[in-house]
Amino acid sequence: MKNHRNYLKVTLDMFVIQLMWAFGVLGVLLIVQIFKLFFGNNTDQYYSAFFIIANIFTFVIGIIAIHFLPYYVENGVTRKDYFKGATLASIGLAIILPFLAWGISALTQLILQSISSLTFKEPNLDAMTNDGNLVGDIIQFLILTPYVNPENNLILSLGIFSLNILMYYLAGWLIGAAFYRYHTVIGLGFIAMTLAVLTLVNVLVRNTLNLPVLENYSFIDLPGNIAIPVIVLIALILIGSIRSITKDVTIKMH
């Protein structure tokens, strides 16, 4: 590859490949949603269903993102250009996936409601259950990220959705990079640290939006004018950590 703006080539490559993976998930979910209609007269909104799946999906492809590095280095791309391109690709995914989910959701509801009497259940993704089980609370908190119904505030809903996707992608990428560079024990340490960071971001966003927070995390109570800069700082720290790990990592050739 030529050295001139290699990062743009990386951006386009990774964005298109990962977007294709996303289309696969979106398509499977659409089939599942349609299939569920045959077993009842209502179903979840497509947007809210993908909202939950998107966090897991982007976390996984974030982990996989480190495995693009050997390919690019073998083809003459610097680690810096890989990092810049992968970062831009992750931002692009975070922006476009919520719009795709919302567009598919709006279109399917319009079509189905025009030809039938089907109804769609109102999502209740902010109902938190505090059962006193720390592990259960953490899992619940990581799955049920802050949600805003697009029918109430579309711009805010899409923005929160994008933030969730970006943070989970960066978290997965950091974990994948840590395991690629270091041994298993350090990698497990990064998992624990990253889960704590995602939980903190979750709490800060909920505080800003006045959404319910589990009692275990009620001590974290920052006003929006402080919470928002802290969230931005956390994102920058994740990005900086990924760069620090990958900038001189030994490439494992296959």
Mean pLDDT for each consecutive 10-residue tract of the chain (254 residues)? 77 97 95 76 78 93 95 92 96 97 89 67 60 62 81 93 96 96 90 91 89 75 85 96 93 70
- State residue 81's pLDDT score: 95
Question: CA geometry: angle at 18 spanning 14 and 23, to 5°?
Answer: 145
Residue 50: count of CB within 10 angstroms of its CB: 26
- State residue 88's pLDDT score: 97
Beta bridge partners of 119: 42
The pair of three-digit structure tokens given for residue 77, joined into one six-digit string = 């791309």
Q: Does residue 76 contact residue 1 with C-beta atoms inside 8 Å?
A: yes
- State residue 123's pLDDT score: 63
Whole-model pTM: value is 0.90
- State residue 1's pLDDT score: 47
- State residue 219's pLDDT score: 75
Nearest to 248 by CA among 89, 69, 87, 88: 69
Q: CA torsion sign, 175 to 181 to 184 to 187? A: negative
Burial zone of 200 (CB within 10 Å; 0-12 exposed, 13-18 middle, 19+ buried): middle
